[in-house]
Amino acid sequence: MPVTPIALSGGVVAIGGRPILRGINLTVEAGEFVALMGANGSGKSTLVRALTGLRPLAGGRLELFGTPFDEFEDWRRIGFVPQRTGATSGVPASVWEIVASGRLTHRRLFRPMSRIDRAAIDDALEVVGLADKARDGVATLSGGQQQRVLIARALAGEPELFFLDEPTAGVDLPNQYALADALGQLKARGSTIVLVAHELGPLEPLVERAVVMRDGRKVYDGRPLAHADVHAAHHESPYALHVDHAPRVVAPLESDQADVR
Amino acid sequence: MSPAELFAQPFIQRALIAAFFTGLAAPAVGTYLVQRRLSLMGDGLGHVAVTGVALGLLTHTSPTWTAVVVAVFGAAVIELIRERGSANGDVALALLFYGGLAGGVLLTGIGGESATHLQEYLFGSILTIDVTDVIITMVLAAVVIALGVGLAPQLFAVSQDQEFAKVSGLRVRGYNLLVAVLAAVSVTVAMRTVGLLLVSALMVVPVATSQQVARSFRTTLGGAMALGTFASLGGLVISIFASYKATVAPGATIVVLALACFAITWPIGSLLRRRRRLAEPFPVDPVAPVLHEECENTHDHQHGPDCGHLAVEHGDHVDYVHDGHRHAVHVDKAGARHYDEH
């Protein structure tokens, strides 16, 4: 019986004192392919950041692979693909070098790379279909190819649990198919995958479970929904208008008071 | 004095050793600063180190050590401000930098030292370096190079993508601090060679030169270290020979030589980038068929690898690009040959 990769109960995240996530309960079992969905600002990216420890929890309890988060040290079991339009920095870097940095969870300080490390990097590049571009500078690749490089980087560490934050955002359709193909291979290998997506697109056949977020709360958890359902009808609040958390500033002598909510 | 006699002089040999180590160490750290888009951090640390030098002169201790201590302290403060990521971060840095410079000038005056003494550190005075300073330079430079190169995979990952590095379990804050401290140390190492006001040039210019032609991080780092060594040794030798005719400051010569290297490689780099961009394969949609029109075969030659037109990969074939057209040779079932306009 494999351990449960993610168990979050009563998860609360506050940024600047304002609640962003409230009372989230989420358990992901080994081998699941979960899509976190919802509108912009619904808290889906924040949830992934909370699960990876990039955003501290203000309340609740998070366990990764059965270990309370504060004691969790086994980072090689986790692969993270951040939300990113590019993979470039101030200095050129080759595709191979970026992917190789995903191998650091397995390497010791001041030690050269082993043959196993190199094989894992080559394998990761093979899965995302960029083996022939290994020596190219990452800045010369298209946005979709750069996104695949970031996936290969997470893949090189041979993790069991993947977090992907909006992997398809701003990626052209051919690259979305390449991406779906790579994720399909991961799924076939038995990896647990949690991804944030606004729209599923070519990923749709892979998704087994959809978690829909709205206003920092989990509003749906179950079989994947058609795109229209996520954004419409029964998840919509009875109040047609979206209410901001920010207090509305209204002049005291505002004449058009009827419009103020 | 003939050149042979000149180079046999101990003070010239000390200068050459110091230049070699400085030229090797400064770009090793500079590469990470450029990667983080913090190219001017070295300059700022140089300003802060002025206060350190002045403290040393005031208390009659070794200015090198006091400069190391103050610059490391300054680096830690800068890193703290940067980590908090406040919008006024760069204003806070500016305050620190000018405070450092003004404090240094003020302390020198209070200590009754003449400005010329401080100037040795501001603009470098590699030819007056003594044995102790050479040894300090060598040791500090060796530490910087060992950490900068030895921890390259970790420092690369942290500088490239902090969030990913954090989820990989790396101690991001520790590595950030390490880069800042290494930068502070190399500033003080380079202070005798090129001077505190030109320190940043030796950290940044070789990197900028190297990345014009490099495609990977490793070649950028290696190239920058080689170029830094070439510039600092070459600049020193040029200034020694030029000193027969005129007063030539070694520090300035080193920086000018490094900039000359950049000026030479920049056009090469932009040409390479342009060619790479043009030869980028055209995207192919795996689902939808490729749209095209047939066009008349009115070319005065057949497109091919040697026809001189830009050949760009497009899925399973090659498009030849000329005059705003993308032509691909197509042989139909009857064996007739025409061009597809893609």
If 0-12 CB within 10 Å is exposed, 13-18 middle and 19+ buried, where does residue A249 land? exposed
- Can you read off the two tokens belonging to residue B243? 């000193």
Q: Mark yes or no for CB contact A97/B218 under 8 Å.
A: yes
| B216/A135 Cβ within 8 A | yes
Q: What is the CATH number of the domain that holds A158?
A: 3.40.50.300
Total structural domains within chain A: 1
Cβ-nearest to A104 among B37, B154, B217: B154
DSSP string, A145-176: HHHHHHHHHHHHT--SEEEEESTTTT--HHHH
* Average pLDDT over every residue of A232-257: 46
Burial B155-165 (b: 16+ CB within 10 A, else e): bbbbbbbbbbb
SS3 content of chain B, % helix, strand, coil (to 5): 70, 10, 25
Confidence label for B68 from pLDDT (cuts 50, 70 and 90): very high
pLDDT surpasses 90 at A35? yes
Would residue A131 count as lying in a domain?
Answer: yes
**A156 contacts in chain B (CB < 8 Å):** none
Instruction: Indicate yes or no: CB of A53 within 8 angstroms of CB of B218.
Output: no
Contact B217 A92 (CB under 8 A): yes
Which bin fits A103, alpha (ψ -120 to 50), beta or left (φ > 0)? alpha
pLDDT band at residue B118 under the 50/70/90 scheme: confident
Quote the CA–CA distance of A213 and B186 in Å, as a whole number: 50
Question: A76: which chain B residues are within 8 Å (Cβ-Cβ)?
Answer: 169
In DSSP terms, A165 is beta-bridged to: A196
Residue A108 C-alpha, separation from nearest chain B C-alpha, in angstroms? 10
Residue A177 lies in a domain: yes
User: What is the rounded distance in angstroms from the CA atom of residue A194 to the CA atom of residue A206?
Assistant: 12
- Asked whether B57 and B113 are in contact (CB, 8 A), the reply is yes
- Region A21-35: mean pLDDT is 94
Q: Which residues of chain B from 41 to 100 reach within 8 Å of chain A, CB to CB?
A: none
Supply B222's token pair.
Answer: 């290696």
Q: What does the pLDDT average to over A98-124?
A: 92
Helix axes B115-123, B41-59, angle to 10 degrees: 150
**CB-based contact, A167 to chain B, within 8 Å:** no
Residue A86 lies inside a defined structural domain of this protein:
yes
CB contact under 8 A, B170 and A104: yes
Which B-chain residues 285-314 have CB contacts (< 8 A) with chain A? Answer: 285-287
Confirm whether A248 is domain-assigned: no
Per-residue confidence band for A116, with pLDDT thresholds at 50, 70 and 90: very high
**Would you say residue A105 lies in a domain?**
yes
Q: Tell me whether residue A223 is in a domain.
A: yes
| Chain A partners within 8 Å of B31 (Cβ) | 91
Phi, psi of A198 (to 5 degrees): -85, -45
CB contact under 8 A, B167 and A53: yes
pLDDT at A86 over 70: no
Residues of B in contact with A97 (CB under 8 A): 156, 216-218
Name the nearest CA neighbour of A221 among A7, A10, A8, A26: A26
H/E element, B279:
none
Render pLDDT for A181-229 as a digit per residue (tens, 0 to 9).
989 998 999 999 999 988 888 899 999 999 999 999 999 998 887 655 5
Q: What is the mean pLDDT of chain B?
A: 88
Cβ contacts of A147 within 8 Å, gap of 6 or more? A81, A84, A87, A167, A168, A171, A175, A179
Smallest Cβ distance to B36: which of A84, A90, A107? A90
Q: Mutation test of the interface with chain A: which of B215, B220, B270, B284, choosing the one with the most A Cβ atoms within 10 A?
A: B215
Range of the domain at A152: 32-44+75-236
**pLDDT greater than 90 at residue B259:** yes
What letter represents residue B202's amino acid? L
**Number of CB pairs, chain A paired with chain B, less than 8 A apart:** 107
Contact B14, B175 (CB under 8 A): no
SS3 A7: strand
Amino acid at residue number B251: G
Cβ contacts of B217 on chain A, cutoff 8 Å: 91-94, 97
Domains of chain B: 9-206 (1.10.3470.10), 293-341 (no CATH)
Cα dist from A204 to A194, A210, B76, B158, whole Å: 13, 10, 48, 34
Average pLDDT over residues A125-134: 91
The arithmetic mean of pLDDT across residues B113-125, rounded, is 84
pLDDT of B30 higher than 90: yes
Range from A73-82, A250-259, B116-125 that averages highest in pLDDT: A73-82
**Reported confidence tier of residue A233, pLDDT bands at 50, 70, 90:** very low
B268: helix, coil or strand? helix
Chain A interface disruption, residue of B216, B272, B290, most A CBs within 10 A: B216
Does residue B108 surpass a pLDDT of 50?
Answer: yes
Q: B132-178 pLDDT, tens per residue?
A: 989 999 999 999 999 999 999 999 999 999 899 999 999 999 999 99
Within the 10-49 window of chain A, which residues sit less than 8 Å (CB to CB) from chain B?
Answer: none
Mean pLDDT across A117-124:
95
pLDDT cut 70: percent of chain A above it:
84
**Residue B5 pLDDT > 60, yes or no?**
yes
Look up residue B35 and give its amino acid: Q
